[in-house]
Amino acid sequence: MFAQIGANLVTIKDISKRCGYSTSTVSKALNRSLEIGQKTTAIIQQTAMEMGYLPNSAARSLKTNRSNNLGVLFIDEMQSGLAHEYFSAVINSFKVEAERLGYDITFISHNIGNMQMSYYDHCKYRKCDGVVVACVDFNDPDVVELVQSEIPTITIDHIFNDCTAILSDNLRGTKDLVNHIYASGHRKIAYIHGENTSVTKRRLAGFHKACRALNLTVPNDYIKPARYHDPQSSGLATRELLSLSDPPTCIMYPDDFSYIGGMNEIEKQGLSIPEDISVAGYDGIYLSQVLRPKLCTFRQDTDALGTEAAKNLVDAIVDQKTYIAKQIWIEGQLLVGNSVKKLDSE
Amino acid sequence: MFAQIGANLVTIKDISKRCGYSTSTVSKALNRSLEIGQKTTAIIQQTAMEMGYLPNSAARSLKTNRSNNLGVLFIDEMQSGLAHEYFSAVINSFKVEAERLGYDITFISHNIGNMQMSYYDHCKYRKCDGVVVACVDFNDPDVVELVQSEIPTITIDHIFNDCTAILSDNLRGTKDLVNHIYASGHRKIAYIHGENTSVTKRRLAGFHKACRALNLTVPNDYIKPARYHDPQSSGLATRELLSLSDPPTCIMYPDDFSYIGGMNEIEKQGLSIPEDISVAGYDGIYLSQVLRPKLCTFRQDTDALGTEAAKNLVDAIVDQKTYIAKQIWIEGQLLVGNSVKKLDSE
DNA sequence: TTGTATGCGTTATCAT
DNA sequence: ATGATAACGCATACAA
């Protein structure tokens, strides 16, 4: 036995020579084709093992037009990239499941080599068998092009036509939060929301539905725009809310991370949470549960989101012809925390 | 102009037919070879553009043995994966720089397709031009095999022979922390450290050196083992430290994240930070700066770590023959915070 | 059941 | 300056 030195030198041809079968027989045996006799297959497999054979993915991909490679498109507006805890958790479980199913993952971007290319072109260039799209501006024409292409695609937290979507149950989550806050005695609830995306729409809808069901009228002033994952804009919105003549007793934030901006603003004004003002976040990231007071939030099941995304993407790839796009809703969970004060009902 | 439908159909052959030059001329022109006349090159480039030509990376890789693909090996013991804020920040800036330089990144793992393979084999299978290794058990034989292979490799936070390492200045960081804590009047400083890695060794060395320089004797009881990024084990160590007959006045933690375990334990005992006990972390992740009190910690420059790693890896790939392994130290920065109480000097 | 022959798209060698 | 041809490693249609 000699250690392999240098690049992967052992090819099917080498195996063929060594054990006296033709390259096609070897190839078939290696792929466990039933055409080949059991004994022959065993011999060939054994030899391959001994010689340290490794298939050449480029050659295979060239021939079969498949790469066992999944693209991940993941570019948030705030450029937080993988530092975005919620999405990196999703991507991570996606990665784990994808690997379990036998796929590599490659990040899709705009520039590769010396050339600029669209996301779609990048996927074609890398022969990605499928792509998962998360955390992007879904209005970006480049994203639309990719999603509408023939490449199997799965989106996370956004619905496109004819494209399977893995969705966190935002309607339900927001409702649960409002109901909990209401049950704690609050009647003046403000909502700071993120950019105008389908997620935001659903959350806003959930907010308003819940309020209506509770017979709460929400002043327009109580709805403030900000950005996801951006403490600064949420801090600004918080300041505006606090300076209202009739300020809310509880503020809901776009997400846990952006809540930090609100927290800082509230501290700066010498107010304390939750004594003077109650707050709630969204996502249930680790951070939210180690802050003091513990944040009231809605935990999204990032594990399930990523895993389902991988499973369904692979399904879509394998059953390319018969696969039908679905929408898969992933349940979350209210985390009560201590950031919403119990008010005496009036 | 027709929109391309289906997979990437335009090949060099097609361009060749369309503009009347041979495939080899087209190939050369596309690669900006100087053999080809300027005018011809222009025509071919133009035609390629019009036809929406996209090179086939598999074919190219098969022929050239290069992939423009960088492997990322990144598997921490706690299985936090990308949820590990410090490392995912490093990987993220690595990704950004790699893409800028024209490389894709692919995660390396153990299973791909239906086969189990070593990290090294996975890299060969994917023809990775180089690999960055971070956040793994560097004693794992599989990791060693990879690092010692002919594939250009860069490690983060660990030194191997003949392998460029990008290193956070752990010696300096720990020293700075100790000096700051000492300057705040503390004389009883405990250190909870992570697994026995080269990083830990350097940090421990920094700790002891600083103490010696300050004429502090450190009881053996004050040094406790725990694990990185694992709040639980640090919580346990904290409990032990607090129950000592002569407990420390300040506890240093393996990292900011694991400090959370300590924080919970301290709270559980009804003590308050920093009034009753001072604490310090390591890493300077976002979390550390939004906790109250703000954590005293040492910020590692994740941006620089990732960027340098990518730059150097590409250097190593391009100058494969002449490249010499180096060690690159990245400076960090003390973040004072409010978690170390100012003691009256005695 | 096994072997022969061909081609995937590209680059590289060698002619012209 | 340009073109003909072979070869990278593999999978497959077809022949035996």
The domain that contains B262 carries what CATH number?
A: 3.40.50.2300
Cβ atoms within 10 A of the Cβ of B298, count? 28
The answer to whether the peptide bond before residue B293 is cis (omega within 30 degrees of 0) is yes
pLDDT for the residue numbered A3 = 40
* Residue B85: band (very low, low, confident or very high) from pLDDT cuts 50, 70, 90: confident
Phi and psi dihedrals of B336, rounded to 5? -70, -45
Task: Assess whether pLDDT exceeds 60 at residue A4.
Answer: no
Task: Assess whether pLDDT exceeds 90 at residue B297.
Answer: yes
With respect to residue B49, please indicate whether it lies within any of the assigned structural domains.
yes
* Chain A contact present for B271, CB below 8 A: no
With respect to residue A345, please indicate whether it lies within any of the assigned structural domains.
no
Q: What is the pLDDT of residues A152-185, one digit of tens each?
A: 999 999 888 889 999 999 999 999 999 999 999 9
Question: Do A266 and A306 belong together in one domain?
Answer: no
Q: What is the pLDDT of residues B230-276, one digit of tens each?
A: 999 999 999 999 999 999 999 999 999 999 999 999 999 999 999 99
pTM: 0.90
Q: A181: which residues sit within 8 A by CB, 6+ positions away?
A: A189, A250, A252, A278, A280, A296, A340
The more confident residue out of B34 and B9 is: B34
Provide the 8-state DSSP code for A65: S
In this complex, the answer to whether residue B36 has its CB under 7 A from any atom of chain D, a nucleic strand, is yes
Q: A30: which residues sit within 8 A by CB, 6+ positions away?
A: A12, A44, A45, A48, A53, A55
Q: Sort out which chain B residues have CB atoms less than 8 A from A81's CB and list them.
A: 92, 95-96
Pick the residue of B69, B88, B129 with the most A CBs within 10 A to test the interface with A by mutation. B88
pLDDT for the residue numbered B159 = 87
Closest to B308 in 3D by CA, of B94, B87, B70: B94
Spatial separation of the C-alpha atoms in residues B151 and B124, rounded to whole Å? 8
Task: Assess whether pLDDT exceeds 90 at residue B224.
Answer: yes
Q: What is the mean pLDDT of residues A192-207?
A: 93
Tokens of B119: 């990290």
CATH code assigned at A21: 1.10.260.40
Question: Do B237 and B203 belong together in one domain?
Answer: yes
Question: Do A223 and A286 belong together in one domain?
Answer: yes
Q: What angle separates helix A38-51 from helix A12-19, to the nearest 10 degrees?
A: 120
Q: What CA–CA distances, in Å, run from B240 to B204, B218, B252, B299? A: 19, 16, 14, 27
Do A300 and A258 meet the contact criterion of CB atoms below 8 Å apart? no
Comparing every residue's Cα with the C1' atom of nucleotide C13, the nearest one is B24
Phi and psi dihedrals of B283, rounded to 5? 120, -45
3-state secondary structure chain B: CCCCCCCCCCCHHHHHHHHCCCHHHHHHHHCCCCCCCHHHHHHHHHHHHHHCCCCCHHHHHHHHCCCCEEEEEECCCCCCHHHCHHHHHHHHHHHHHHHHCCCEEEECCCEECCEECCHHHHHHHCCCCEEEEECCCCCCHHHHHHHCCCCCEEEECCCCCCCEEEEECHHHHHHHHHHHHHHCCCCCEEEEECCCCHHHHHHHHHHHHHHHHCCCCCCHHHEEECCCCCHHHHHHHHHHHHCCCCCCCEEECCCHHHHHHHHHHHHHCCCCCCCCCEEECCECCHHHHHCCCCCEEEECCHHHHHHHHHHHHHHHHHCCCCCCCCEEEECCEEECCCCCCCCCCC
Spatial separation of the C-alpha atoms in residues A102 and A86, rounded to whole Å? 25
- Please state which of the ranges A301-310, B107-116, B120-129, B180-189 shows the lowest mean pLDDT: B107-116
pLDDT for the residue numbered A1 = 35
* Chain B contact present for A82, CB below 8 A: yes
- Please state which of the ranges A44-58, A66-80, A128-142 shows the lowest mean pLDDT: A66-80
Q: Which one of B57, B92, B105 has the shortest CB-CB distance to A83? A: B92
Task: Assess whether pLDDT exceeds 90 at residue A208.
Answer: yes
pLDDT for the residue numbered B77 = 62
Q: What is the mean pLDDT of residues A293-299?
A: 96
Do β-strands A130-134 and A153-156 pair in parallel, antiparallel, or remain unpaired?
parallel
With respect to residue A159, please indicate whether it lies within any of the assigned structural domains.
yes
Q: What is the pLDDT of residues A277-289, one digit of tens each?
A: 999 999 999 889 8
Spatial separation of the C-alpha atoms in residues B305 and B94, rounded to whole Å? 8
Q: What is the pLDDT of residues B125-169, one digit of tens each?
A: 899 999 999 977 788 899 999 999 999 999 998 888 889 999 999
Q: Which one of B8, B82, B113 has the shortest CB-CB distance to A124? A: B8
Spatial separation of the C-alpha atoms in residues A190 and A278, rounded to whole Å? 10
Cβ atoms within 10 A of the Cβ of A49, count? 9
Cβ atoms within 10 A of the Cβ of A123, count? 25
pLDDT for the residue numbered A85 = 85
pLDDT for the residue numbered A262 = 96
Spatial separation of the C-alpha atoms in residues B288 and B275, rounded to whole Å? 18
Task: Assess whether pLDDT exceeds 70 at residue B7.
Answer: no
Q: What is the pLDDT of residues B169-201, one digit of tens each?
A: 999 999 999 999 999 999 999 999 999 888 999
Most confident of A44-58, A92-106, B176-190, B313-327: B176-190
Question: Do A259 and A316 belong together in one domain?
Answer: no
Phi and psi dihedrals of B39, rounded to 5? -65, -50
Do β-strands B333-335 and B297-299 pair in parallel, antiparallel, or remain unpaired?
antiparallel
With respect to residue A7, please indicate whether it lies within any of the assigned structural domains.
yes
pLDDT for the residue numbered B239 = 98
Question: Do B60 and B96 belong together in one domain?
Answer: no
Task: Assess whether pLDDT exceeds 90 at residue A265.
Answer: yes
**A253 CA, D4 C1': separation in Å?**
68
Question: Do A202 and A258 belong together in one domain?
Answer: yes
Tokens of A166: 């893995």
Contact A125 B286 (CB under 8 A): no
Task: Assess whether pLDDT exceeds 70 at residue B4.
Answer: no
With respect to residue B36, please indicate whether it lies within any of the assigned structural domains.
yes
Question: Do B209 and B243 belong together in one domain?
Answer: yes
With respect to residue B224, please indicate whether it lies within any of the assigned structural domains.
yes
Q: B177: which residues sit within 8 A by CB, 6+ positions away?
A: B252, B280, B282, B296, B297, B298, B334
Comparing every residue's Cα with the C1' atom of nucleotide C8, the nearest one is A63
Query: How deeply is B153 buried, as exposed, middle or buried, from its count of CB atoms within 10 A (0-12, 13-18, 19+)?
Result: buried
Spatial separation of the C-alpha atoms in residues A68 and A74, rounded to whole Å? 19
Task: Assess whether pLDDT exceeds 60 at residue A6.
Answer: no
* Residue A136: band (very low, low, confident or very high) from pLDDT cuts 50, 70, 90: confident
Q: What is the pLDDT of residues A68-110, one digit of tens each?
A: 999 999 876 666 777 788 888 899 999 999 998 989 999 998 8
Tell me the average pLDDT of chain A: 91
pLDDT for the residue numbered A180 = 98
With respect to residue B336, please indicate whether it lies within any of the assigned structural domains.
no
* Residue B344: band (very low, low, confident or very high) from pLDDT cuts 50, 70, 90: confident
Question: Do B278 and B185 belong together in one domain?
Answer: yes
DSSP string, A240-283: HHHTSSS--SEEE-SSHHHHHHHHHHHHHTT--TTTT-EEE-SB
Question: Do B307 and B164 belong together in one domain?
Answer: yes
Domain extent, residue B265, equals 170-300
- Please state which of the ranges A57-61, A75-79, A142-146 shows the lowest mean pLDDT: A75-79
Task: Assess whether pLDDT exceeds 60 at residue A346.
Answer: no
Question: Do B308 and B294 belong together in one domain?
Answer: no
Question: Do B174 and B200 belong together in one domain?
Answer: yes
Number of separate domains in chain B:
3
Q: Sort out which chain B residues have CB atoms less than 8 A from A5's CB and list them.
A: 150
* Residue B2: band (very low, low, confident or very high) from pLDDT cuts 50, 70, 90: very low
With respect to residue A341, please indicate whether it lies within any of the assigned structural domains.
no
* Residue B76: band (very low, low, confident or very high) from pLDDT cuts 50, 70, 90: low
Q: Sort out which chain B residues have CB atoms less than 8 A from A82's CB and list them.
A: 82, 88-89, 91-92, 95
Task: Assess whether pLDDT exceeds 70 at residue A7.
Answer: no
Q: Which one of B57, B95, B260 has the shortest CB-CB distance to A107? A: B95
Q: What is the mean pLDDT of residues A332-342?
A: 97
Tokens of A239: 């300041």
Tell me the average pLDDT of chain B: 91
Contact A89 B82 (CB under 8 A): yes
Q: What CA–CA distances, in Å, run from B3 to B6, B51, B56, B299? A: 10, 9, 19, 50
Question: Do A21 and A51 belong together in one domain?
Answer: yes
Task: Assess whether pLDDT exceeds 60 at residue B343.
Answer: yes
The last residue of a domain, from among A64, A80, A108 = A64
Cβ atoms within 10 A of the Cβ of A162, count? 9
Spatial separation of the C-alpha atoms in residues B245 and B241, rounded to whole Å? 9
Note which residues in 137-156 of chain B have CB less than 8 A from chain A: 150
The more confident residue out of B307 and B77 is: B307
* Residue A62: band (very low, low, confident or very high) from pLDDT cuts 50, 70, 90: very high
Q: Sort out which chain B residues have CB atoms less than 8 A from A7's CB and list them.
A: 65, 124, 150
